[in-house]
Structure 1
Amino acid sequence: MNKLEAFGHIAAMAIRGELVFPTSVNAALRVQLALDDPDCPIDKAISLVLAEPTLAARTVAISNSAMFARAGAPVVTNVRGAIMRIGYQNLFALAAAMVVRQFGSKLIDPALRVKAEKLWDHTIAVAALARLIARDVTGVNEDTALFAGIVHEVGGFYLLSRADEFPGLLEEDPDNWHSASEEIITREVMRKLCIPEPVADAIEGLRDAFMSIPPDTLQDTLLLANLLTPVRSPLQEAERELPPHSESAIDLFIDAERLQVLLKQAHDNAAEMSAALLV
């Protein structure tokens, strides 16, 4: 089975709803589905998180990171305090991060495991930078940008999770690759993970996106974060170039000095997020 056939087979299964997720994903999915209800009582959220010790530890850890703890803020030592500090939207994002992380956890091929780790590094780098770009440049909701960054490569993670079954699936093979199949797979995985429609739409449109001038949408935020992060995706078949005139356009709203500050802060935040998510 060549790459085109493998993509077509997986896409057909996705359309039929026959997505194959690692067993370890199911627990995080249950939490995510419950938190999708904005009226979920705080006590129910706490009990759901406490039922998953790993998620509980990570929630407390990330609530004490510089991203969420203001200077001089007391250290949070319990799940209730952590949820109150980071909010439901970021708890939802944290559960999503666990789902994304688990896709590569059962890979057997060492080369695929390396790719999964590199894709995770790229994902966290983009998420951290997207949050800062939302805050300082595009004006979209910071928490939404962070969440969108965490899940923007979920299709790639899903393909990685199936690559042991389909040797050659992720090898470079321009003659046997079809973007439509990848887009179908990504869309169906996002549907299964209950990714909100505005976030899913922004992610789906990234491949052929043109940045607005000035950038002011979630898609612009993700596009900028992907273009500006130095941590590249291992699944990119070629280095993505900026759309025509984008470099000069970017200079209009992010000068070189400000960009370096954003990149440094994003690097530090990504390191903190990774450490918290590995608790």
Structure 2
Amino acid sequence: MDRLAIYKNIAEQANQGDLVFPTHVEETLKLKRILDNPDCHLETAAKYIIADPVLSARTVAMANSSAFNRSGNDINNVPMAISRLGFRTLRTLVSATLVRQLNSQLRDPVLKQKAKQLWEHSAHVAALAQVIARHITRVDPDTAMFAGIVHEVGGFYLISRAEEFPGLLDGEPEIWREYGEKLIGRGVMKQLGIPEHVMKAAELLWQGISGVPPISLGDTLILANDIAPVISPLHEQDGLNTKKFAANIDFEVDDTTLQEVLDNADDEIESLSAALLV
């Protein structure tokens, strides 16, 4: 089966909801559904988070990041971390775990490196999107961070399938854009229960449609993606061209500029991305 046929086949599976996730991803999806229940209480959430040592560490690290720890008082237990973060941010962290787990069983070192770079890119985009939303576009910061985490979920899924199909990620980037992002990406998002408005923001990024100055969630995501210091391995050439362009991106924001906002929020961006990379 040639590469285009494989893409079409996976895209069809995605659109029909026939994607198969590893067992541990299914378990995390169950946790996501528990947390999505409006009747879920802090004690219940803490019990499930504590059962996962990695997720526990990420929850406490996020709560102690400068973006959430405004008082400077560190905490060291999960219930207090959840109380500080709130359920919306907690659900975002669980979604981050879902995305990372898609590639946790890879054996090929090249694919493992691609997955690692893609997560580093996503973590930086998520941190930047949260700060841009809070200081510039005034869209919901939690939603912006969530969009940054999941905007490449189709890419993570394809990397997870690439060991079955050697050469799947090689060749013309146009095939990836048409099938990987627009069809497979949306199909994976639907199966993971990503809200429609977040999917639409990601689609604006995939299509390269943005407004200047940025106003919407889609604009926020695109700007964060363009200025992220780590390039997506699935967009290497585009990313290098964008990086040259992004170095000169600046515009006025009220009585300051984009670059001044980013400079002032550097600690927040660094601590958020570091918490996601734990």
Q: Normalising by the residue count of structure 2, what TM-score does the alignment of the two structures yield?
A: 0.88
Question: Mapping of 1:172-251 within 5 angstroms?
Answer: 172-174=171-173, 179-180=178-179, 182-240=181-239, 250-251=250-251
CA displacement at 1:256 relative to structure 2: 6.5
1:212 Cα offset (Å): 2.1
Deviations 1:176-209 (A, max 9, x none): 5560454221111111111111111111221224
Equivalent residue number for residue 26 of structure 1: 26
Alignment root-mean-square deviation, CA = 2.5
Summarize the Cα distance change of 1:230–1:33 in structure 2 as closer, same or farther, 3 Å threshold. same
Q: State the shift of 1:78 in Å.
A: 2.2
Whole-angstrom CA distance in 1 between matches of 2:21 and 2:264 = 35
Counterparts in 2 of 1:262 and 1:187: CA distance versus 1, 3 Å: farther
What is the aligned partner in structure 2 of residue 272 from structure 1? 274
Other-structure match for 1:44: 44
Is the counterpart of residue 60 in structure 1 residue 97 in structure 2? no
Q: 2:10 aligned with 1:10, yes or no? A: yes
- 2:96, 2:150 within 8 Å by CA — same for their partners in 1? yes
Deviations 1:110-161 (Å, cap 9, x if unpaired)? Answer: 1111100100110001001001110111111111111111111111000000
Question: Could you tell me which amino acid in structure 2 is paired with residue 50 of structure 1?
Answer: I
> Pairwise mapping of residues 158-177 of structure 1 onto structure 2 (< 5 A)?
158-174=157-173
Please identify which structure carries the higher helix content. Answer: 2
Q: Contact (CA 8 Å) 1:213, 1:249: kept in 2 or not?
A: no
1:258 aligns with 2:260: yes
What SS is found at the alignment partner of 2:238? coil
**Is 227-236 or 247-256 further displaced after alignment?**
247-256
Asked if 1:135 is matched to 2:134, the reply is: yes
Q: Normalising by structure 1, what TM-score?
A: 0.88
- Displacement of 1:91 after TM fit? 0.5
Identity level (%): 44
Q: For each residue in 1:51-90, what CA deviation from the matched residue of structure 2 results, as whole angstroms up to 9, or x when unmatched?
A: 33332232123212222112332x3232211111001011
5+ residue gaps in structure 2?
Answer: none
What is the rounded CA distance, in whole Å, between the counterparts of 2:82 and 2:112 in structure 1?
32
Cα deviation, 1:89-112, whole Å, max 9, x if unaligned, reads 110011011111111211121111
Name 1:77's counterpart in structure 2: 76
Paired AA for residue 25 in structure 2 = V
- Gap regions ≥5 residues in structure 1: none
Cα separation, 2, equivalents of 1:262 and 1:25: 37
Q: How many residues align structurally?
A: 273
Q: Matched residues in 2 for 1:22 and 1:248: separation?
A: 42
1:76 is paired with a residue whose SS is coil
Q: Distance in 1 between matches of 2:162 and 2:220?
A: 30
| Contact 1:2/1:168 (<8 A) preserved | no
More divergent stretch after superposition (39-48 vs 226-235): 39-48
Q: Distance in 2 between matches of 1:264 and 1:172?
A: 37
Q: CA deviation at 1:227?
A: 0.9
Please tell me whether the aligned partners of residues 2 and 176 of structure 1 are also in contact (alpha carbons under 8 angstroms): no
